[in-house]
Structures are given as structure tokens and as C-alpha cells.
Amino acid sequence: MTPEQSTWFAETFSALAENVSRVLLGKDRTVRLALTAMVAEGHLLLEDAPGTGKTSLAKALAATVQGTHHRIQFTPDLLPSDVTGVTIYDQGTARFEFHPGPVFATIVLADEINRASPKTQAALLEVMEEGNVTVDGVSHPVGRPFMVIATQNPIEQAGTYRLPEAQLDRFLIKTSLGYPDRASTVEILAGAKDRTVGLGARITTEAVGTMADLARTVHIDPVVLDYVARITEATRDDSQTALGASVRGGLALVRTAKVWAAAQGREYVLPDDVKDLAQPVLAHRLVLDAEAEFAGVTAIDVLARLLDQVAPPVLRAA
């Protein structure tokens, strides 16, 4: 990435964030995390109470990049074909035709994903990882960009199916929106309407692909890669974790750090980029020891402590 390209990337990223923030007031960091996940070609998991703006986030992202948006309400009786689509025999043409499901969109909101059965949850796995849906042996690409924003309701657990660790690991970032501050709440109440209506696009979906390609070229020094490796190893060696971050988690941290650096107009990654993203990228990948969990320790607590213990490298000037 050249300095000129990094300047364009940062200006475009800021314009996208500003546009989405017109809908999600007072949630600048969460908006930037969501955009980072999209440009890094990953998926986002939101754990939040109802009414915090999860659907608005998905609609605003899709509108900002001239994309499409579909919402899937996950329920216990939802079938895999309700997500991916189905092949139907057409008597008129005497051929089987594929009818795509709601997963064929730029931004797919999988609302309350933990309410669906494990079989239906698994229907998302292939498309999240490969960008393709296979029905009756035929592969159908969903296009680019493609992003799943899945939500979980933390306060109502009756009749839910906990996401397995393997599926949690498929999400690049996990975060929450939370309630807006009072000033933002007053502004939202004053409008009292869908703020995504009339939201204009800032770039095309093709430009998002260009940003994703550029982000991959951001330089990351071997000592910063070693820092990422030391953090992930520390999560596996810690006495309070039963399962630490995998190599996939380390790769996710590198991918997001490159986007985070480019969004700030840099063509290289700093250790601070890694520290900024460690919690949203790695926390949901940790499985705590039963004793630590019983004591009220959270994965965020563990990561905060490890980030204090693992010394960041000092980059030498070129």
C-alpha cells in the first residue's frame, strides 16, 4: 500500500463511518469495528438486549455501500433451506431451478441466531467461511462483499441453543452496541423515525472489494507478528482458560489490525492496533476454566490481564 492509497483508504473509511453514525448515534467505536469486519471480509457477532439498534446497523451498512440487506429471524422451527434456499422442479421448463434464500445479500442480519437449532446454525457455516452455498451438489456464490451480522439476546436464554465454540470462532469480531448516552437518546427521540430512510450511499460494493484488497497489502513487521503469537499463546497457557485462542484467532487479529491501521492512514501496523482489537477479536474465542467462570471472571478480564503481562515490541525507525 502506497501513502496515497492509505490516505484514500482512511478518507473513505471515515466517510463510511460518518454515514453509518448518522443512524447509530454515539456508537463510533462499534461502527468502526463493524466496518473493519466488513472490509476484512469477516463476520460480526452482536450480543445485546432488544432495541439497541442491531437491525439499524445492518440496514445502514448495506445502504452506505449500495448493497442489499436481508434479515432472518431465527426460530426453533427454522430449517436450513429457509436460510440457504431450495431447488424446485419447474414443470413448465422440466428443469430444477434454484430459488436463493435470504442469505444471498450484501449484509445478512441473523437475528437471535441462538434460537435456531444447531442444524440450522450450521447452515451458515459454509457460506460464512467459503462465500458459497451448496444445494443439491451445486455451488452458488453469494457475491462480494458479504457479511453476516448475527445477534444474541443475553437476557432471555430459555429455548435457546448455545453457539458451539467452532461456530463462535467463525466470527471475526464480537461486540455490543449498548444503549446510547442521554444526549444521543434525546436526539433519537426527537426524530422518532427510521433514521436509515433516505441514507445515501458513499461507495459501491466494488469499491469495498478494492478496500479489502488494499488492506491485505498493509505491512506488518515480524516483531508485531511475534507479539500476536505471544498473546494467543498466553491465552492458551493461562490457568483461567480451558481453551485459548487458536491460530485462526491470531490470523483474525492480523487481518483486522491491517484494516485498523489503514483506516488511520497508515500503511503499516503498530502494536497499539493489536492491543485495540485484541478484546473484540479474541474474547469470544476463549473458553474459561469452570472455577474461573464460577468466580465471575470473564474472558475480557483475562485478556485485559494478559495484555498487561505480554510486553509489546518496540519498533525501530526505518
In a domain, 184, yes or no: no
pLDDT score at 157: 57
CA atoms within 13 A on the CB side of 21: 16
**Is residue 89 assigned to a domain?**
no
Residue 5 lies in a domain: no
What is the structure's pLDDT at 273?
Answer: 94
pLDDT by 10s per residue, the chain, length 318 = 788 888 999 999 999 999 988 888 888 899 999 999 999 999 999 887 777 778 888 888 888 888 888 888 888 888 888 888 888 888 888 888 888 888 898 888 888 888 878 888 887 877 888 888 888 788 888 888 889 988 887 766 555 667 777 778 889 999 888 788 888 888 777 876 666 667 788 888 889 989 999 999 999 999 999 999 999 999 999 888 888 888 999 999 999 999 999 999 999 999 999 999 999 999 999 888 888 888 888 889 999 999 999 998 887 754
| 72 backbone dihedrals φ, ψ, rounded to 5° | -115, 120
Buried b (16+ CB within 10 A) or exposed e, 241-258: beebbbeebbebbbbbbb
Interior angle at CA 257, CA 251 and CA 260, nearest 5:
150
Q: What is the pLDDT of residue 39?
A: 93
CA 2 to chain centre: 27
Domain count of the fold of the chain: 1
Largest CA distance in the chain: 70
pTM exceeds 0.95 for this model: no
Judge whether 240 lies within some domain. yes
Q: Which domain holds residue 301?
A: 218-311
What's the confidence (pLDDT) of residue 270?
Answer: 93
Closest CA to 305 of 256, 253, 252, 238: 238
* Grid cell listed for 265: 492512514
Provide CB contacts within 8 A for 312, sequence distance 6+: 227, 271, 272, 274, 275
Q: What is the DSSP letter of 46?
A: E
Domain membership flag for residue 237: yes
Question: What pLDDT, on a 0 to 100 scale, did the predictor assign at position 254?
Answer: 95
Instruction: With respect to residue 38, please indicate whether it lies within any of the assigned structural domains.
Output: no
- Cβ atoms of 49 and 152 within 8 Å: the answer is no
Contact 171, 36 (CB under 8 A): no
Q: What is the pLDDT of residue 78?
A: 87
Angle between helices 247-263 and 271-282 (to 10 degrees): 130
In a domain, 151, yes or no: no
DSSP run (H or E) holding 303: helix 299-309
| Domain at 240, CATH number | 1.10.8.80
For the chain, counts of helices (H) and of strands (E): 13, 11
Look at residue 32 in the predicted model and tell me its pLDDT.
94
Q: Let me know if residue 88 belongs to a domain.
A: no
- The letter for the amino acid at 205 is T
| Rounded Cα–Cα distance for residues 96 and 91 (Å) | 9
d(CA 295, CA 213): 44
Residue with cell 471480509: 41
